[in-house]
Amino acid sequence: MFATSITPTSSFTDQSLHQEIAASIQSLLANGQWASYRAPVLDHLKAEIANRIRVSNVRLCSSGSIAMELALRGCGLKEGDEVICPALDYPGNIRAVRLVGASPVVVDVAENRWTLDVEKMADAASDRTRAVIVSHLYGEIADVVTLRKTCDDRGWLLIEDVCQMPGGTIDHSPLGSFGHVAAFSFGGSKPITAGSGGAVVTSDERISQRITSYIDRPSELSPLSPLQAAVLLPQWRRLDALIDLHLLTLKNFVNKCGARFPTWRMPAMETGHQKRCFYKLPIQIETASHRDRGTEEEKNRIIAELSCAHISAGVSFRTIQRVAGGRGRMMGCKNAEAISANCFLLDHRSLAGSSESGERLLESLTSIYDRGLQ
Amino acid sequence: MFATSITPTSSFTDQSLHQEIAASIQSLLANGQWASYRAPVLDHLKAEIANRIRVSNVRLCSSGSIAMELALRGCGLKEGDEVICPALDYPGNIRAVRLVGASPVVVDVAENRWTLDVEKMADAASDRTRAVIVSHLYGEIADVVTLRKTCDDRGWLLIEDVCQMPGGTIDHSPLGSFGHVAAFSFGGSKPITAGSGGAVVTSDERISQRITSYIDRPSELSPLSPLQAAVLLPQWRRLDALIDLHLLTLKNFVNKCGARFPTWRMPAMETGHQKRCFYKLPIQIETASHRDRGTEEEKNRIIAELSCAHISAGVSFRTIQRVAGGRGRMMGCKNAEAISANCFLLDHRSLAGSSESGERLLESLTSIYDRGLQ
């Protein structure tokens, strides 16, 4: 049967979701929308995202990278304007800042955290500051409540990068609703995926108009296709349930890891008023976890051995200092260097599906961990 | 049955092609490639296009508009560089020239033609000229053989816009192989479609590298998704047969029109060494075709009545002078004004499929034509 033969590719999906995705595509092929510029399925997806993120404007696009560039263009930045950027982030974000003609000012992340240090922003501010980019990274939600307040007080625009964390919330408010504008990604490695794709959302009409005037030439520069919308729609409709299921799986996994791997540090799953979403699970290696090797070498060994066992793993984004080679004003990235140095990441797809695959992963990790102690 | 229930959306498609498209999508859903960044189906499509267009580099992307922007970025244009543009073209092309920082120099089309007047280019050249954009429009193939020679002689780069005419050839050489770089579109109105999508192709390694360094950030800025590639692959594999079938249908239709509508002028279908592809069929209204109305009014009446009869029709691109309001150097657009003034276009989808739909279209056109004579 067609509808039940989809291969799971994400811990966020299950068999009944696969059936919904197949049915959605089948309907699109039957009604001709797959070959149409203005397919209603695009509007249905926009409405679903607008409703869930509580924004008035959703622009679908072809990647998270273009979504972030559009968010920046929506802010109407001019040559010489400064944008505060986190010291640890997707490198395309700082490239996009330069591309639109603005200057990045790089602010460190907080100690032992992946996200922007709000306290350090004061030192970075100048009379040319116009906007702040904040990214929710590796399951950690940035302090966007404080950030938004600071931005509003100072007349800056907050650009929220939600590419890694669709469905995350703070006190039941969705991530993507805190920024003046926010970017989502539906790329192949992402929890909610169409192979590629993205969206930029805002409730600010001026930002929305600037985005429109940039990308409608008059055809759309970087559209999401109806086929992509058809596979995304069932995923967005089930977002909460999918993330709850994934968090439960992850919590079981992390609990077992805690007992077996005492020198590896894993993030907290319970976070009170926040609902997190782990696109990648970051694991910190403490220096006592190995004997003769340096931590960098130990991290690389673990990733290489995971790769041999066909388990998707990798390193975090490098610090902006390393990527951008010091262009822009650098306000320090000590904490960013520290947290990224000794960390490896497990892909959410490695934790996918059955408890069986979780057990296999644990076994592989155990033998890799034990070899590290030898 | 799933595979046979696709609605025809193009005169280029037939029932067995629909089955191939459905099977291609089904296989993608089953093997998980739909949710993957680096799906092999993307490489298969790239190889098919590279082979057919006889180029060494194919970059898939999300629209024809971004394909043209990437082509321009691939040319490495700098502030102050001039790009020769046709007076009648997709308006996004001249916007893209400005966006990359270059200055457009607008050259008229040849008399009674839709495409760039190669003879007039000499007057437009300056020591700042770096590139020429040429578009094959409304079934008419531009004189890219002469153009390429001129460009090579003068050290300019030729950017070929093939968005309307995938599969067209001159002496069996494919359009898209004449430019140093060329753009294709797979948008919803196009002969070969994925709802949206595009590709930029080149055999010039420097151009290819500049495109790569612009769009890989490191994720792709504006990718084509695996789902889109899956519906495009069967269409590209059948390109020649599809276009031959379409041309045959069109030739029958145009022959009948010639007898019935003596004051409407239709393009030649037989063109010797060229194989044309009509994305839209342009029909010129001669002034004797109506009594009291102006030609502009007559054209608008025809389009409105076709629209009431649910037949997709419209006007051509407006001249660049009208779109761009005189920015850039204007070398005249008299011929462009003349050819676009009295013309309406029938969408290829209006001519789709069965001889029955062709008959219905002819009936509608007959009553519209007769009302014009009253």
Q: Which residues of B touch A197 (CB under 8 A)?
A: 225
Closest-CA distance of chain A to residue B195, Å? 4
Burial annotation A53-69 (CB, 10 A radius, 16+ → b, else e): bebebbbbbbbbbbbbb
Q: Which residues of A touch B29 (CB under 8 A)?
A: 2, 5-6, 18, 21-22, 25
Residue with tokens 């409608």: A216
Contact B29 A21 (CB under 8 A): yes
Task: Report yes or no: A61 and A214 within 8 Å, Cβ to Cβ.
Answer: no
Q: Which residues of B touch A188 (CB under 8 A)?
A: 35-39
d(CA B89, CA B110): 13
Residue B39 in tokens: 């799906």
Lowest mean pLDDT among A11-15, B92-96, B252-256, B332-336: A11-15
Q: Which residues of B touch A62 (CB under 8 A)?
A: 61-62, 221-225
> Which class is B240-373 in CATH?
alpha beta
CATH architecture of A239-373: Alpha-Beta Complex (3.90)
Q: Which of B7, B30, B220 sits opposite A32 (nearest CB)?
A: B7
Residue A326 in tokens: 């010091």
**For position B290, what pLDDT does the model report?**
55
Contact A63 B219 (CB under 8 A): yes
Query: Residue A167: which of A93, A61, A244, A86 has the closest Cα?
Result: A244
Residue B309 in tokens: 């009869």
**For position A328, what pLDDT does the model report?**
75
Residue with tokens 């009545």: B305
Closest-CA distance of chain A to residue B346, Å? 17
CATH architecture of B9-237: 3-Layer(aba) Sandwich (3.40)
Closest-CA distance of chain A to residue B350, Å? 14
Contact B6 A29 (CB under 8 A): yes
Nearest CA in chain A to B198: A222
**For position A15, what pLDDT does the model report?**
79
- Does domain A10-237 fall under CATH 1.10.1060.10? My reply is no
Task: Report yes or no: B138 and B282 within 8 Å, Cβ to Cβ.
Answer: yes
ipTM over 0.85? The verdict is yes
Contact B225 A225 (CB under 8 A): yes
**For position B372, what pLDDT does the model report?**
84
Lowest mean pLDDT among A301-310, B51-60, B316-325: B316-325
Lowest mean pLDDT among A143-152, A168-177, A292-301, B28-37: A292-301
Q: Which of A61, A217, A231 sits opposite B227 (nearest CB)?
A: A231
Q: Which of A26, A35, A219 sits opposite B195 (nearest CB)?
A: A35
Q: Which residues of A touch B36 (CB under 8 A)?
A: 9, 188, 195
pTM above 0.90, yes or no: yes
Nearest CA in chain B to A34: B195
Where in chain A are the domains? 10-237, 239-373
Measured CA distances, B322 to B133, B298, B303, B336 (Å): 18, 21, 21, 11
Residues A250-285 pLDDT 10s: 888 999 998 899 989 999 887 889 999 998 999 999
Measured CA distances, A291 to A184, A350, B219 (Å): 42, 28, 37
Cα B127 from chain centroid (whole Å): 30
Closest-CA distance of chain A to residue B123, Å? 29
CB atoms within 10 A of CB B163: 28
Nearest CA in chain B to A195: B35
Q: Which of B69, B91, B194 sits opposite A218 (nearest CB)?
A: B91
H-helix segments, chain A: 15-31, 40-53, 64-74, 91-99, 121-124, 144-154, 205-215, 226-237, 239-260, 295-308, 320-324, 334-341, 355-373
**For position B82, what pLDDT does the model report?**
97
d(CA A134, CA A162): 9
Residue with tokens 């010797």: B272
Residue A269 in tokens: 């799953």
**Residue B272 — pLDDT band, cuts 50, 70, 90?**
confident
Q: Which of B22, B65, B228 sits opposite A221 (nearest CB)?
A: B65
Nearest CA in chain B to A70: B221
Best probe of the B interface among A219, A231, A318, by most B CBs < 10 A, is A219
